[in-house]
Amino acid sequence: MDLFILTPQLEPFLNISIPDSTYVCSKFDFDLILPCHGKFDASSLKRTCGKLTITTLACNAVTTSATPPCNASLLHTLRFYSEMRGLVLGVYTEKSKSGNDVSEYTKSFKEIDEKSNGSLSKTLKQTGPFCKSIKQKILWMPVESKVKFDCISVVDLGAKEVTENPHEGVDEKLERVRSSIADGVKALRSTSDFEEIYLDPCHSPQSAAEGANLAVYSYNALKDQSSLRPTSQFHLYEYDAIPKEYVSDFEKGAQLTECQNFARALMDTPANYLTPSIFVKTVTEKFKDANVKLIIRDKEWIESKKMGSFLSVARGSEEEPKFLELHYDGAPDVKKCIALVGKGITFDSGGISLKPSANMDAMRADMGGAACVTGTILAASKLKLKVNVKGFIPLTENMPSGKATKPGDVVYAMNGKSIQVDNTDAEGRLVLADGLCYAQQFEPMVVLDVATLTGAMAVALGGAATGVFSNDDEYWNVLNKAGYVTGDRVWRMPLYDYYKKAVKDSHLADLNNIGKKGREAGSCTAAAFLREFVEPGNKWMHLDIAGVMDCKDETAYNCKGMSGRPTRTLVQFLKGLEGNFAEKE
Q: How far is CA 323 from the centre of its chain?
A: 26
Q: Tell me the residue type at 327.
A: H
Q: How many CB atoms lie within 10 A of CB 285?
A: 8
Q: Tell me the residue type at 359.
A: N
Whole-Å CA distances, 427 to 72, 185, 211, 301, 399: 72, 41, 35, 20, 11
Q: Which alpha helices (H) appear in 344-408, and where do they start and end? A: 368-382
β 446-451/540-544 pair status: parallel
Cross-strand bridge partners of residue 419: 411, 511
169 backbone φψ class: left, alpha, beta (φ>0; ψ -120 to 50): left
DSSP string, 405-466: --TTEEEE-TTS-EEEES-TT--HHHHHHHHHHHHGGG--SEEEEEE---HHHHHHHTTS-E
Task: Kindly name the residue from 79, 160, 355, 481 that is annotated as catalytic.
Answer: 355
Cross-strand bridge partners of residue 389: 328, 338
Q: Catalytic site residue 575? A: no
Cα R_g (the chain), whole angstroms: 28
Those residues whose C-beta lies under 8 Å from the C-beta of residue 110, and which sit 6 or more positions away, are 239
Q: Catalytic site residue 51? A: no
Distance in angstroms (rounded) separating the CA atoms of residues 413 and 405? 14
CB 448 within 8 A of CB 338: yes
What is the DSSP code (8-state) at residue 354?
P
Name which of 149, 175, 178, 153 is nearest 162 in CA terms: 175
Taken in order 136, 18, 144, 205, the sign of the CA dihedral is: positive
Angle at Cα 207 formed by Cα 206 and Cα 213, nearest 5°? 90
Distance in angstroms (rounded) separating the CA atoms of residues 474 and 466? 18
Taken in order 162, 164, 165, 168, the sign of the CA dihedral is: positive
Task: Kindly name the residue from 189, 429, 531, 575 that is annotated as catalytic.
Answer: 429
Active site residues: 355, 429
